[in-house]
Every structure is written in structure tokens, then in C-alpha cells.
Structure 1
Amino acid sequence: MAAKPQEKSGESNKRKRIPNQKPEGTIENTKKPKLISKPKKLAPSSSNVHSKVAKKPFKVPKKDYQKPSTRKDEGEDSKKLHRLRAKELAEARKKKRKKHYTLEQELALLWEKMRRRNIAKEDRSRLISEALMKMKGKISEIASSHVLSRVLQTCVKHCTQDERNAVFMELRPHFIALASNTYAVHLVTKMLDHAPKEQLAEFISSLHGHVATLLRHMVGSLVVEHAYNLGNATQKQSLLMELYSPELQLFKDLVTMKENRLEDVMAKLQLQKSSVLRHMTSVLQPILEKGIIDHSIVHRALMEYMSIADQSSATDVIQQLSGPSLVRMIHTKDGSRLGILCIRHGSAKERKKIIKGMKDHVDKIAHDKFGSMVHVCILSVVDDTKLVSKVIIRELEGKLTELLLDQNGRRPFLQLLHPNCSRYLSPDDLTSLSLSIPSLRNKGESEGEAAEVDSTGEGDPSDTSIQLHEGGKKDSFKRRQELLINSGLAEKLVDACCENAESLLRSKYGKEVIYEVATGGADGILHPSLDEKLSELHEAIVSIAAQPKSDVPEEEHILEHFHSSRAIRKLVLDCPAFASTLWEKALKGKCEVWAKGHSSKIINAFLETSNSDVKELAKEELQSLIERGDLALPVVEGASAGKE
């Protein structure tokens, strides 16, 4: 017990070492003093093995050695397992959620095979029959599926008529529900495309009472429009009449009428105008608010609505249609007429919206049969010629040559050169331009004050009964002058005709444009400001006509071509300046060569012309041909002048 306190006392006498303290008189080392490290482990050997437990040295066998997996590999394995488990879980959930999930997987495999282009017809028919057998009794349930509706579409397209009839019978009770489904709507339209007349009539009959509801639906309206386009006149009328009155929705027998106009239907069924107007407003207003205005059945319904609408209702519709949305409507006949009504009866602000809404679409509209008529109306009615030149004229100039050769694209230019000419516009086109809304018709506008179809008196006399209402306040000639001359369009027209004279003359539609330009337009609108340019055009045409006749039969000379010969003949009759140039530089001394075939019409024109100076130029040379019998005089003076 006495030793312990001695140890404590001994320890207290020892000098305690302070860490990092340097002894006095020593030089500072560059390296810090190393702490006492742990003793290194020695390899197992016989000398350092514990005596009591003798262990053999461990040796790793070479064959059984495996490189330990890194953390990265372990992470990738775990991710793969996680994805597999997630996929299995998703598959299990789909099986619970989708009633026909397994069937969908099977049919998807068949579909991938049957829709190939290089598959034999027999193999495709076998696959389609197998798919339809699997779907039998479940078609109405799976028609709304995103995948299976596509399988059904392929089957309906390529299956036999008996198989298609079986599909129709299964789908017949569910047509209305399927027509509003995003995926099934394509199947329904495909069924209508391949349906015989009996099935189409049955489908249209099943729409009774649901037309107005479906037209307010973005998807359902596609089915009604498709059925409307496929149906005959009676079926179209039956779909339309449901929009007129609630009585026509309830009683199917009233719908089977042959009357086309709403006014005739009202008169026969003794319907009140206020009731019809109220019902049509309730049907059409949601359609306009939702912007479902692309369909021809809607355009027809709106046209009938405008015929009975009061001033306030008609003005509201024009305000809603005026703008970029009108571009989506003018591709149909009734849509084009609605556009014309909006331009004629709209205010200056609304016309401005319509024209600005056509920006970047002018070229496409000009190529359209009905859309081009809206351009014609704008050029004939709108007084803001600066806006029209900036939007319409500038975009038309960008595709000038292409439009001049197009049947519809040339119409705006012909309207400026020769307004409302019955040679270039059909009676139906002229009727469209003369339409007006009864409730918005100007008070001072009457049938006697309306402008005639052909202001120059040319064309078919029977067409002069059609009369046009001018919507603008500006003088018609002044408006044309601002759009043609002041905008620079006329000069570009003449240049385009000079550059493409031969192609325009040989074209069925281009020849009429070059004729109007070469003659200076109606009322001489291109004179005198462009007289020099017109002389250059005459020279360009004559230089082509002066070329020698080719020996190759396939290369038809411009004087012998069917269209160009008639265009040049008309120029000889109506343009003395051109006729003189043509005679002096192309025909003088060569009439014997051109006295036969289509070119003989041009030679005869020098005898038929009413201009005495032109007649005198060719009289001597042509008289010798007449005496020899190579050229025949016209039976009646000027009888063939109106023929082409």
C-alpha cells in the first residue's frame, strides 16, 4: 500500500512535456516531428504466429478469385431492378384499370403486321379476320380506346363488306356517344366513308334530335359535317332543318320536306319568325363563341339566319365574324358569301379587321375558287385603297406570274382591268357579288340605282338583268385607278406580260389577262400613263408571232396554237395599234402560209375588224387569196367577232 503514493510522488517530480514546445538551444527543423505511428502488421509467418493457436498462411486461389463489385455497378443494378419492379407494377395497375388490356396487347401486335405496305392481300385479310374475331361482341366498348380505335380503322378500311356490316351493326346503338369521343370519331368517319347508301341514310337518321348539340361540340361537329358532305340534297336539308325550330327537332315527319330556303319552310309550316330567330340564335351563338366556324353546314345555317335576322342580330354576327376568323370560312360557297356580306355591310373598322386578318394568307385565298371572290369584293367595295394596296396588292405581286396563269388567281386582276365582266365571272359569281342582307340594305339603295353587271355593255345581254350593289362611297373608276396605277400594280402587270408573253398566250386562263392588259383595260384605264409600256408589250407579242414556222409537228407555232390564235385574233379586232404592228412585222407578205388552220382566224380578223385603217393595210394582199379560194370571206360582217 506504501508503494502507490511513492509512484505518485515520482511522477510529480518528472518534467511534464508540453506539446509542440521546442527545447531551448535547438534549431528549428523544417519537418514537423512525427507522432508515434502504429506498429505495422507483419505478414503471417511461423515466427509471429501465436504459439497456442497455430494458423496456416492464407492463400487466395486464382481460379475462384472474383473482382469485388464497385459502387457504380451496384447502383446500376439497383436502378434496373427498380425499373423492372416499376414496370411490373404499372402493368398490374393497367390490368386492373383497363378491362381489355390483354386484348389490346394482342391486337396491337396484329395491327403492326396488317398495316404494313408490303404485306400480301391474303395475309392482311387473314390478320383482319383474326382481329375482328377477337373483338367480336366488344367493339362498342373498345372503340373509344386510343390504340384499339386505330386497329378498328385499319380493319374497316381493308375488310370485306360483310365484316364491315357486322361492325356497323355493333356500333349502331352507340353512334351518338362515339361521335363525341376524341378517338372514336375517326372510326365513325371511316365507317361513313365506306358505308353504302342504306347505312349512310340510317346513320343520318340516327342523328335526328342531336344535330344542334353535336355542332356545339368540337369533336362531334366533325361527324355532322362529314355526314352533311356525304349526304344528298334531301339528307342535307334534314340536318339543316333541325337548327331552324324546336318543333323540327321533336317531330321527325316535319323534317322530310323538299323546301331549300328557310323562308319557304316557315311559310309552309306557318312558323313564327320571332320563334325561329330566337331558336337559331340560341343554337348559333354558342357555335360562334367557341369558334367552330370551319364547317359548311354552319356556313349554310348562318346564311339562312342572315336572311331573316333583324338589324341588331345581323350586326352582331358581322362583328363576331369580322377578323382573322373569317379566313377559315371563305373556302366554301356559303362561307365566301358570308365574307362578301361582312365586307359589304361592315363598318370601316370591321373591313379593316377583315383585310388585316388576311395577312400572310392572301396567296392561298387567291388560289381558292370561293376565296378569290372575297378578294374581288374587297377590290370592288373597300374605299381604303392604301390598306388594300399594302396588304392585298403587295402579297399578290409576290406571286404575280403564277397567279396570272391560275384560273382563280387571275380573278382579282381581271376585276380591276374589267370589272364584273360576264366573260370572266359566272352568273353564280355575279349573284354572290350582288347579295345583301335585307335588314341592313341601304335606304337609298334600290334596284334601279344598282350598277349593271358589265359596265361596258359587253358580254351576254341576258346577264345584264343581274344587278350589283356598290358598298363603297368612292367612285368606282377612281378606286380602280388608285389600286392599279397609283399602287404600281399596272406597271408590274405589263412587265410580267412582256416577260411571259408566250406562256400567257398559250394558257387557257392567262390569255384573257394578257388580252385585257394589251388593250388597256375597260374604259382605257391604262391609257395614257402606260402607253409606252403597252407598245413594248405589243412588240413582245409580235416578235414571237414573227418567228418562222417550225418543221417539227410537235412544236406548234403561236399563230397556230388553239388558245393563242384566238387571243391574237381578239387583239386584232379590238386593238388597232396591235393589229398594225402585227401586220407590218409578222404577217405582211406571209398570209399565204397562215391561211389555213387556226391561224386563218387571225387572217380573217383583218377582214372582220371595224377599223378602216387596219382593213386597208391587208386589203390588197388578202384580196388575192380570196380570189384564189385560199381564204373565205365571213358570211356576215362581224358575225364571228364574239366567238373565240
Structure 2
Amino acid sequence: MAAKKHDAGDTKKRKRLNTETHEAPKASKLVASKKHKPDSVAKDNKNKKTAPLTGRERRLHSKELADARKKKRKRHFTLEQELARLWEKMRRHEIAKEDRAKLVTEALQKMKGKIPEIAGSHISSRILQTCVKHCSQAERDAVFEELQPHFLTLAYSAYAVHLVKKMLDNASKKQLAGFISTLHGHVAPLLRHMVGSVVVEHAYELANAAQKQELLSELYSTELRLFKDLVSLKESRLLDVMSKLGLQKGSVLRHMASVIQPILEKGIVDHSILHRVLLEYFSIADKSSVTDIIQQLSSPLIVRMIGTRDGAKIGILCVKYGNAKERKKIIKGLKGHIDKTAYHQYGCMVLVCILSVVDDTKLITKVIIRELQSILKELVLDKNGRRPLLQLLHPNSSRYFSPDDLASLNLSIPSLSLKDQSEASSLTETSKVSLGDKESKDDIELALNEVNKDKTSVDDSDLAESGKKDPFVRRQELLIKSGLADSLLDICIESVGELIQSNFGKEVLYEVATGGSEGIMHPALGDKINSLHNAVASLAAMPKSEDSQEEHVLENFHSSRTIRKLILDCPNFASTLWEKALKGKSELWVHGHSCKVISAFLESPDPTVQKLVKKELQPLIDNGILKNPKPKEQANQ
């Protein structure tokens, strides 16, 4: 019924439209025909819009949207795009210097007046670095002047920091001094910042002695931070500064602790300026303060510190004064870095200290010795790598360690040093005697307490600077029981020709051939040492050839001196060499470097060796071919 009513209504409507005008039906058809055409066009347009975009079209569209957003967000976006196009041209390797100079000048002209604003941008900072590298000195000075008021702000920027370092590298002495002056009062906050600390460290490395002292001094006390002219170059040590200015020890310690603690908590320990401050802090701090710092540093952090001279000293002090638990952490922190540390100029001294002090030889063998054994030959031939090996073979020898190296191994912390405590104990005894009957028992005890203030007991088991184990026993466990000496002998026998003629390898070979100091290798490895003697003698027994390009082992500068020392210090080697290589051939070797080898038999302190060669060498002395060393020795005596 509803459908019929609806149809009737529609019929009535159509009739009414037709009665209004006889043209209406035609008009409606015309409109309908007109509507049909635009609908088809709209449909086609719709199909075009919904058609999937290609990958390239999507990327272009995304780039347009991104650029539009950057234009709203970045004030100098258009300028950066122009500079980027210039940068692509100027950084090419094949470009001519004149063309690059023109591009650099053009870029600097575009940036003029806006350099501080765009220096923090990732792209712009790199463009500026390239411009500073290749521009003229006048242009570089102009950039420096424009940036100078903003250096402190830029020092905190992750991207601008590289530009600041580049500017410092190219700065004149006057400009560097001006930059260091602007850092005054801001050194401590910058050192606490991960990025800012890099700028301070870079300035510290480039600074002269007076400027370094200027940077360090404000980390010592509030007074020195406020008044930078109080300290001169003459007072390089903190103790001297405190003595001259009359600074109170308590206030200095509080200020230094407030500077050092936040830096250590953030783990910013890579910089040499901090290492220097820590050393000075150790020189005045009491036992509890030093112990806290050592506890914080006894971790993998120490690996990042030992790359500098002062950082290695900090590492040595942590090993010497850390307890067993802290030493274990330090050694485990070095795991995986032993080879890199051994080759390092300063890091190798930390390994030397560990081998000399730590009693846990099983841990050292597992972590350190095993890694050293895998690169043993390379270590023997390396200037720094051989030092841990030489320390086990011949501890603290001035032949292999410089005075500075030995001084660093003997460093001490006054508040923890057993030596200083012994002196304090002797002072207390002196005080007892000097006081005598003049003062009461209570006064004596009070005086003794004052003397022992901030000192620890001499018998404190945690502060065994050289370990509690006998040094010889420790060396035996690390060298013999670990198998290191056996591996060393194998390397020396296999590569005897290469090592004995090497500037550094010859020293390890000499110590191994003599059995180490105190003959530590002889009881267990005597047969292998004799095999090494035979290997050296076999080299010396090779015929002398004038056509050969390689020097004979007896004529080479390094090897001839090593053989001479072995003859003087090892009678067993001297006998083997004479019997196997030189007997009956001495007249052939009495000229050049080999002459010193022949003379060594006569200079030997062992009468058996002298008697062995006297019959053959005496005619050479009588004929003036060979000099007799005995008159020279008598003259020296």
C-alpha cells in the first residue's frame, strides 16, 4: 500500500510539472544531458586522484612537506640549502685551490652576521669547519671575532663543539689566550657537561704551562675561581699554592670534592685535566676521601683513564692502595683490553704495577697472562709491549725502565702510604721521649693522637702497597706456573735470528737466555735455556759471506752487543758459543763489531771462560791484533 501511495504521489508531481509549461519535459532532458557530461569528467578526475603514486612521487611529496615544516621551524633554512650546494662543490678532492677559495669566500659572505645562529646546526657547522680549514687567515680571524662572544654557548652544543675545536686548532696565541680567559669561572660547569668537557680538554692540551695552571687553579678553591691572578707559574703543585696563599685545607678539600664527585658520577673520566686534579686531590685528601675515590674508580672506568700520563698514575695508585675486591674489579675491567693496554705508552705501566703488586696470581693468569700469550711475539718486538714481560724477568730494572717510569711505580698517597705511617710512628716515639716527665700521661696521649690524625695503622691489611706475598714467589707463579716462560722460550728459539737483531727484542732474549734475575727460570727450564744457547751459537757458527745482503749475527750492531753481554753474564752460554762457533775461527772475527764479542771472553769474570780461550787468543794479543782488556781494567780499579 505504501508503495502504491508513493507511486501515485510521484505521478501527480510529474503531471504538475508538465502542466506548468509544455517545454518542461524537453528542458529537463536538456539539463539531464548537461549534468551527465560533468559527472563523467568528475569521475575521471576522481580516478586520477585515487591512482597510486609511484615511489619517486611519494618521496618528492614527502620532501616538499618536510621542507615546508622546516621553513616554519628554521629561520635560516633557505640559507642552509644554498650553503649546502656550495659545500658539495668545495669539498671535492679534485677541485682547484683557486676555485675552492672562491666558493669558500662566497659561502662566508652569505653567512656573515649569522654565523653564531647557524653554527649549532648539523649541516651548517660542518660547512663552517670546511670554510675555516680552507679560508685565508683574514677570513678566519673575522669568523673568530664573530664567534668569540658566543663560544661558551657553542661549547654546550653537540654540533658546534666540533667547530669550536677547529677554531682553537687554527687560533693564534693571542686568540687562544683570549678563549682561555673567557673560560674563567666556567671550567667546573663545563667539565660536568658531556660535550662541554671536550672543549675544556682541547683548550688544556693546546695551552702552555701558565694557561694550564690557570685552568686548573679554579678547580682548587673558591678564591682561585674568583681571583685568577692569585696563582703564578712558580706554584705548580697544589701544596705550594696552599702554602703561599694560606688556604685552609678543609675549604680546599670541600671545593675539590664538589667539583670531582659530579664528574665521576657522570662517568666523564677521559680527560687529562681531571686526571691532574685527581692527583693533586690525592696529595692532600684524608684516608676516607681517598678511599671513596679509589672505590669509585676501581671499575671499567679505569680503562678509559690510563691513556694519559697522569691517568696511568691514577691507575697505578688505585692498584697499589685498593683492597683485594677493588683490585679484582680493576683487573676484570681490563679484560678484552689487555693487548691495547700493553702496547700503550702509559697503559703498559699499569700492567707492570698489577704484575708487581697483586697477590691473586690465578686471576692475573686467567685475565692478563692468557691474553699476553696470544700475542707474545708482537709484544717482544714492541717498545712498550715488552715492558710487562721484562718486569717479570727483571723487576724494576733501570736498563729497561726510565727514571720517570720507576718514579710512577713508586708513587704514594700520603694519607695511605705505609712509609709515611712508619715515619709518623717514629715521630710518636720521639714525642714520647721528648715529653718525658714534663707532661702528664693524658697530655702524651693527646699529642700522639694529633700526630696520628688522618693516618692509618701500619698493620692495615687492606693497604699492602706491594702485596703480602713474597715478590719472588709471585714472579714464579706468574712466569713459571702460568706457562709464560715456556712460551717465551719457544718464541725465542723459533725467532732467534729476528729477535737478536731487533732493537727491542734483543733485551727480552737476553733476559730469557740468562734465566731472568735471581735465576728464576733455571731450575724448571734449564734444558730449554740450553737449547736457546745452542740456537744462538748455531747462528754465530754460520760462515761469513761477503756477498750476502744480510749482516752476520756477530757483525750486526744489536746482536753483537747482545752476544757480548751474554758472554759476560752467562758462562754456560760463553762455553757453548766458543765450542760450537768460535773455536779455531777467532782470527776471522777480530775486526769490526765482532771484535767486541771476542774481547768479551777475556773480560769474563768467570776464570773458566778465560782459561777456555786463553790458548787461542794469547797469540792474537801478542801480535797486536787483539787488545788485552786487563791493563784497562787495572787502570779503572
| TM-score greater than 0.5 by the shorter chain | yes
Tell me the SS of whatever aligns to 2:522: coil
Match of 1:531 among 526, 530, 543: 526
CA change 1:448–1:522 in 2 (3 A) is farther
Length-normalised TM-score, structure 2:
0.84
1:265-304 residue pairs with structure 2 within 5 A?
A: 265-304=241-280
Q: Does 1:628 align with 2:604?
A: no
Aligned to 2:8: none
**Preserved CA contact (<8 Å) 1:606 1:618:** yes
Aligned to 2:19: none
Q: Does 1:159 align with 2:154?
A: no
Aligned residue type for 2:511? E
Aligned to 1:195: 171
Aligned to 1:479: 474
CA distance in 1, matches of 2:634, 2:216: 49
Shift of residue 635 of structure 1?
6.5
Match of 1:515 among 490, 504, 510: 510
Match of 1:108 among 84, 88, 94: 84
Aligned to 2:569: 574
Aligned to 1:206: 182
**Preserved CA contact (<8 Å) 1:234 1:258:** no
Aligned to 1:615: 610
Give structure 1 stretches of 5+ with no counterpart. Answer: 1-67, 450-468
Aligned to 2:541: 546
Shift of residue 255 of structure 1?
3.8
Q: Deviations over 1:3-31 (max 9, x none)?
A: xxxxxxxxxxxxxxxxxxxxxxxxxxxxx
**Preserved CA contact (<8 Å) 2:201 2:271:** yes
Tell me the SS of whatever aligns to 1:439: coil
Shift of residue 238 of structure 1?
0.7
Aligned to 2:372: 396
**Preserved CA contact (<8 Å) 1:345 1:471:** no
Shift of residue 579 of structure 1?
0.4
Aligned to 1:438: 414
**Preserved CA contact (<8 Å) 1:367 1:408:** yes
CA distance in 1, matches of 2:376, 2:56: 63
CA distance in 2, matches of 1:80, 1:376: 62
CA distance in 1, matches of 2:355, 2:168: 41
CA distance in 2, matches of 1:568, 1:295: 45
**Preserved CA contact (<8 Å) 1:498 1:536:** yes
**Preserved CA contact (<8 Å) 2:478 2:484:** yes
Identity %: 66
Aligned to 1:225: 201
| Deviates further, 628-637 or 378-387 | 628-637
CA distance in 2, matches of 1:296, 1:311: 24
**Preserved CA contact (<8 Å) 2:218 2:228:** no
Aligned residue type for 2:574? A
Aligned to 1:503: 498
Shift of residue 120 of structure 1?
1.0
Higher Cα radius of gyration: 1
CA distance in 2, matches of 1:519, 1:70: 95
Shift of residue 141 of structure 1?
1.1
Q: Does 1:375 align with 2:351?
A: yes
Length-normalised TM-score, structure 1:
0.83
Aligned residue type for 2:356? S
Q: Deviations over 1:319-368 (max 9, x none)?
A: 00001110100111111111111111111000000001111100110001
Identify the structure with the greater helix proportion.
Answer: 2
Tell me the SS of whatever aligns to 1:438: coil
Q: Does 1:235 align with 2:199?
A: no
Tell me the SS of whatever aligns to 2:586: coil
CA change 1:322–1:95 in 2 (3 A) is same
Match of 2:102 among 126, 131, 150: 126
Q: Deviations over 1:270-304 (max 9, x none)?
A: 10000000000000000000000000000000010
CA distance in 2, matches of 1:436, 1:196: 40
Aligned to 1:590: 585
Aligned residue type for 1:384? D
**Preserved CA contact (<8 Å) 2:209 2:233:** no
Shift of residue 70 of structure 1?
12
Tell me the SS of whatever aligns to 1:529: helix
1:338-487 residue pairs with structure 2 within 5 A?
A: 338-442=314-418, 446=422, 470-487=465-482
CA change 1:78–1:108 in 2 (3 A) is closer
Moved over 6 A (4+): 68-73, 78-82
Shift of residue 628 of structure 1?
2.1
1:168-183 residue pairs with structure 2 within 5 A?
A: 168-183=144-159
Shift of residue 265 of structure 1?
0.5
**Preserved CA contact (<8 Å) 1:104 1:147:** yes
CA distance in 1, matches of 2:338, 2:149: 45
Tell me the SS of whatever aligns to 2:415: helix
Shift of residue 627 of structure 1?
2.0
| Deviates further, 547-556 or 628-637 | 628-637
Aligned to 2:41: none
Aligned to 1:41: none
CA distance in 2, matches of 1:185, 1:439: 40
How many residues of Structure 1 are paired with residues of Structure 2 in the alignment?
556
Alignment RMSD, CA only?
A: 2.3
Tell me the SS of whatever aligns to 2:353: helix
1:40-59 residue pairs with structure 2 within 5 A?
A: none
Shift of residue 69 of structure 1?
11
CA distance in 2, matches of 1:152, 1:288: 34
CA change 1:445–1:525 in 2 (3 A) is farther
CA distance in 2, matches of 1:80, 1:596: 82
CA change 1:170–1:639 in 2 (3 A) is farther
Aligned residue type for 1:299? H
CA distance in 2, matches of 1:158, 1:376: 45
